A and B are shown apart, each in its own frame.
Chain A
């Protein structure tokens, strides 16, 4: 049990599909994050929401669109992805202010 739940665990989609990844945290944290992890590469921070406000967008292509309706939920909307977008997408949460992040199990995404 991680306290951070991601769905789905696995997703296979075509380049023209639209799908959404969901993340929910039960830890009472006030910051949430999306990361991308490709094989043999460091974690890449994609988006950060702090107190439900987006505070970081690390030059992520517009085909990825985050949404944070409240402090417990985070979505990543996917549209017309490319094969190079195949990766493990991890959601994390934390308390703002130097606290460590706690991760969900991730969604393994494959783009056909």
Chain B
């Protein structure tokens, strides 16, 4: 089993729709969680951290379910500019070990 798993997609979604991705992780001791987005041929950019109580940033909502060991990302009112690959990242201790998922590709269509 991979340490961090994501559905590779692509998710083809009409503009304005709501879309959600999940990411599962295998190490129950994981401490920190992040969502990054990566545009084609660009570097990953931090989208948001994921907090235990869930957090929201504009149209984006991230949630953590420790019991089932997954995190989720919800995008409301999707825009064409949301088209990208979304990377789930899990930190397994408080130092530096980031484990990256392979990403979920999202395509927003007009």
User: A residues touching B (Cβ–Cβ < 8 Å)?
Assistant: 2, 31, 33, 40-43, 45, 48, 50, 55-56, 88, 90, 94, 96-98, 100-106, 108
- Our pick among B4, B49, B96, B102 for the contact of A31 (Cβ within 8 Å) is B96
Q: Which 5 pairs from chain A and chain B are nearest by CB? A: A103-B43, A43-B100, A42-B102, A98-B32, A98-B94
A17 to B62 Cα, complex, angstroms: 46
Give the size range of B's interface with the partner.
20 to 34
User: B residues touching A (Cβ–Cβ < 8 Å)?
Assistant: 4, 31-32, 34, 41-46, 49, 87, 89, 91, 94-98, 100-103
- Our pick among A2, A50, A100, A103 for the contact of B95 (Cβ within 8 Å) is A50
Residue of A nearest to B95 (CB): A96
